[in-house]
Amino acid sequence: MNGVALPLEDASYLSGIDAAVRLTPAFRLGSENLDVSDYIKPIPGGRKHRLEPVRTVLDEAMKRYARQDAAASDAWLGPRFHAALRLSRREAGCRDVWRYLGLWAADYVRWRWAAEPDATESDNSVGVERFVGPDSKQALARLWWMTELFRNGSDYSTATLALTNQDIVNNFFRAGAAHHRPTALAFLSVLPRSEDGERLPDGRSANALSKAINAAASTLLLDSLAIDEPLDGAERRHWEALSEDHEVRNFFDEFPEGPDDPPVPPESLETMTTLLAELLTDAPIRGKKKG
């Protein structure tokens, strides 16, 4: 098989691809294999993870969506990938984890990010950052962290909504304010939606609101305006431990359940929704007529 990173298929660790690994254009295009045996090292804490459920949901996403609609797969895949790969936040904060997974699932990375479905020239190869880049760029890290930050306790529906808009992924997701749950959920609630209410198609509004939030507030200020409930460490550990028992095919057509953290306090969500609605009203939106 061409374009695989060997010997990752049989590795028992999640982490370990050094930044100096040689991701040639030929590998990124899928026409050359890559031996990474010298770069494998254990995940922090030594906890092992089953990758079979992850492989199952990635394969299903590539079956459900045509290559030209690959971006649309994010909304379906994000929650299911998050539930299949039950990482702690500490593990997910290790960049080596995503470097490993980016090469382990190189076929998905190419499918999602290739410039053209049948590219034959190296100029059309997938960018290095989609395999081993920062969380906002790496193909799998961005899905996992978007889902983690925009879920509301065990409810993944808000994360799915966030993933329907690439401007949220590319802009607001990178801001510190996205880590404040009342702000993240209020951000979704004030943006215009599609007629069916299931998508956030207006990228200009998302970009304008993101800029307005960054200019108006720090995360510290947001915490004082709208208090959030802390995440439940015991429930998170219980959810992580269930990774051996769940069957990912059971949630292909319905949402899985995330960690049973407390939901965002309604009063905090109301406070931030009011504030962000005012910011959006005053924000300069490209293409919007004044008056």
Who contacts 180 (Cβ-Cβ below 8 Å, separation ≥6)? 219, 222, 223, 226, 228
| The pair of three-digit structure tokens given for residue 258, joined into one six-digit string | 């995330």
Distance between CA atoms of residues 151 and 99, nearest Å = 24
What kind and span of H or E run contains 82? Answer: helix 73-84
Using DSSP, state whether 137 is helix, strand or coil.
coil
Which tens digits make up the pLDDT trace of 48-58? 788 999 999 99
Nearest of 261, 264, 257 to residue 184 by alpha carbon: 264
Residue 158 phi/psi, 5-degree rounding, is: -70, -35
pTM of the predicted model as reported, rounded to 2 decimal places: 0.90
Between 13-17, 178-182, 196-200, the lowest mean confidence (pLDDT) is in: 13-17
Which tens digits make up the pLDDT trace of 136-155? 999 999 999 999 999 999 99
- Residue 158, pLDDT > 80, answer yes
Tell me what percent of the residues of the chain surpass a pLDDT of 90.
59
Cβ of 48: how many Cβ atoms within 10 Å? 10
DSSP 263: P
Q: Which residue has the higher pLDDT, 47 or 127?
A: 127
Q: Which residue has the higher pLDDT, 78 or 10?
A: 78
Please check whether residue 33 is in contact with residue 3, taking contact to mean a CB–CB distance below 8 angstroms: yes
